[in-house]
Amino acid sequence: MRWPNVVAIIQARMGSTRLPGKVLADIAGRPMLWHIVGRVRRASTVGRVVIATSTARADDPVEEFCRAHEIACFRGSETDVLDRYYQAARESAADTVVRVTGDCPLIDPQVIDRVVAVFLAEECDYATNTFRYTYPDGLDTEVFSFAALESAWRQAARPAEREHVTPYLKTSGLFQVRNVENEIDLSKRNLRWTVDEPSDLEFARAVYARLGSCGVFGYRDVVRLQEEEPDLYQINAGRTCNEGHYKSLVTDSAIPPRRQVLTRSHELKARAERLIPSCTQTFSKGPTQFVQGVAPVFLARGQGSHVWDVDGNEYIDYPMGIGPVILGHNYPAVTEAVQRQLQEGSAFSLPHPLEVEVAELLSEIIPCAEMVRFGKNGSDVTSAAVRVARAYTGRDLIACCGYHGWQDWYIGTTTRRLGVPQAVQALTLTFEYNHLESLKRLFAEHPAQIAAVIMEPIGVEEPRDQFLQEVQKLAQREGALLVFDEVVTGFRVALGGAQEYFGVTPDLACVGKAMGNGLPISAIVGRKEIMALFDEVFFSFTFGGEAISLAAAKATLEEMREKNVVAHLWEQGQRLKDGYHVLAREHGVANYTQCAGLPPHTVVMFKDAQGRESLEMKSLFMQECLKRGILFSGVQNTCFSHSPADIDTTLRVYNAAMEILADAIRHGTVREKLEGEPVQPVFRRA
């Protein structure tokens, strides 16, 4: 195949805060940069390799290295790396540029070739394997046209866009971009092969010592080596990808608060207070969950990842309807399906074919789904699971962990139990996540009485020590059904939910929220012999088979299968999570706030110096985000419409909000900086 003039430009300089001089550090008797150049040269698509370093005297050794090894070298701006890259590419008459950094001694020529091939075949402006790390961190390859580079060079203005070369290409929305994913998704392994810290250099040296100093090995060999020697994982575990980019946001131009009017919101709130208890149908959407006077009370419309309040103020949306909107507001494929079905009817006197079609889709997607029944809310199907489990086992007690809705059987375990009889409260027992002994104790105290263990497979905390597998074994041994409440995790952490992601198949599962991209629909799915009891167990209501929501569900699920939506949620959610943590460290508030959970659904938490939840800190951070156009509630649900530009804007806003929070913490003025009443808790678990 005839390739255009493809030039690989390796960004390399001696300055490094964490590991000075790393590009020429010794690995197996040769400078690291020597290994990188040799590996890049073995890529069949690359015609020429150029080192791009700065004109600073400290980088003279890089030029001397290049001269000694007959490697082309370009010297340019130390701080404006985008200009350095552009000038190097222009001088090399490049048609296509391959960007590799000087801290990737394990870069794989075959990976470079694959990204270049995708770039050329799909005729895009920019291709990379870094949007989602299905490859190990350290095989980072970015390929872009000279024309796109020149456009970015002319238009990019923010410091972070000049310092890191490609942010403008990725986030401006002006270019056709593609992500190249590995045939085997290695993202769960968190493989870190880049060199930023002394421990990273130690890891690279260990790999070369085992696989050969000449470096003729591929990334699969390194993966296999780490499988054979698990201790290698621990050498440099726990670092963040692209930390340098996130840190550069701290010095980026600050986003000021905007002028916004909330007149219409306040008028509607006054009317609602006379008619609607709590002014809302959902506690977590109500006025007490936002800083009033700063936050809108009513939203009017949404498009993609953005929403507008009744006064016309625009926000990037992260609650996303408290989870249901997984593709985006007014997503075309779903809107069109709903409009078509609306013209044909919504409620019929006999079942509609969509009931069968969506049930078939769920049975193909969800591992445990042999049969299906539909509901409207998550509470419908969790309560159905409890009822059918009691019928199947002949037992009355339920062991639960997590949040499971508003029905008596669960809400009686919380401080919102008003109106729930004591006799009903006594039928539900709670256990702790990641604490198997607490569940064992329930079985020991109530032998042969527990019908089901119902739990959220993951919330904020990830399972440890095979917790889900051990819960499954325990439930099976004790004769109880295992029910996963996947109302939140279903279709989000994996298309088949957390049960697919963690490889644990429950007896029953409850799904909802994201299933209809904002339309009201849920489902209980599970083993056929259990589900068949719904012939007798009463689970029947007028709108169980309502056709408009079923049409939305079918369109949503088909879109998610065809477009690999889940990968996008992970990609953008990981950037949001990593960026948040880096900014927190840079502002010195990492001990006060953290972003927890799997990337598609994260929760930002705040705590005071004593480790107690701080709603005042949360409120101050929220206030500053709202004033800058981010609808922040503490929960971050990424959707398919959240673009890289959305994430970049959000992190810049988070940087501004975190600077204000950090100053308030230092001076003890968090409460004084609030412009309204702080957020109140909905309830605390009993």
Let me know: does 317 contact 543? Beta carbons within 8 Å.
no
Q: Is 154 helix (H, G, I), strand (E, B) or coil?
A: helix
Let me know: does 514 contact 362? Beta carbons within 8 Å.
no
Closest among 580, 686, 683, 685 to 284, alpha carbons compared = 683
Match 């960004």 to its residue by tokens: 11
**Is residue 513 annotated as part of the catalytic site, yes or no?**
yes
Spatial CB neighbours of 586, under 8 Å, sequence gap ≥ 6: 247, 250
What CA–CA distance (Å, rounded) separates 155 from 165?
12
Match 């290698």 to its residue by tokens: 232
Let me know: does 430 contact 455? Beta carbons within 8 Å.
no
CA distances from 57 to 18, 164, 560, 561 (A): 19, 21, 52, 53
DSSP string for 532-584: GGGGTS----TTTT-HHHHHHHHHHHHHHHHHTHHHHHHHHHHHHHHHHHHHH
Match 């769920």 to its residue by tokens: 362
Q: Where are the alpha helices (DSSP H) in 69-108?
A: 81-91
Containing 481, the helix (H) or strand (E) segment is: strand 481-486
What CA–CA distance (Å, rounded) separates 669 from 221?
54
Containing 229, the helix (H) or strand (E) segment is: none
**How many other C-beta atoms lie within 10 A of the C-beta of residue 532?**
14
431: tokens are 């256990």
User: Computed from CA positions of residues 670, 676, 679, 680, in that sequence, does the dihedral angle turn out positive or negative?
Assistant: positive
Q: In what order do the strands lie in the sheet with 593-596?
A: 593-596, 601-606, 635-637
Q: Is 226 helix (H, G, I), strand (E, B) or coil?
A: helix
Q: Is 471 helix (H, G, I), strand (E, B) or coil?
A: helix
How far, rounded to the nearest angstrom, does the alpha carbon of residue 603 sit from its chain's CA centroid? 11
397: tokens are 């007690």
Give the bridge partners for 439, in sequence order.
none
Dihedral angle at the C-alpha atoms of 293, 299, 300, 303, nearest 10 degrees? Answer: 130
What CA–CA distance (Å, rounded) separates 676 from 453?
42
312: tokens are 């016309």
Containing 221, the helix (H) or strand (E) segment is: helix 219-228
**How many other C-beta atoms lie within 10 A of the C-beta of residue 588?**
12
**Is residue 528 annotated as part of the catalytic site, yes or no?**
no
**Is residue 403 annotated as part of the catalytic site, yes or no?**
yes
DSSP label at 596?
A: E
Catalytic residue of the set 86, 168, 403, 592? 403
Catalytic residue of the set 170, 376, 513, 577? 513
CA distances from 417 to 223, 278, 283, 683 (A): 52, 17, 14, 10
Catalytic residue of the set 103, 485, 646, 648? 485
Containing 393, the helix (H) or strand (E) segment is: helix 378-393
- Residues taking part in catalysis: 403, 485, 513
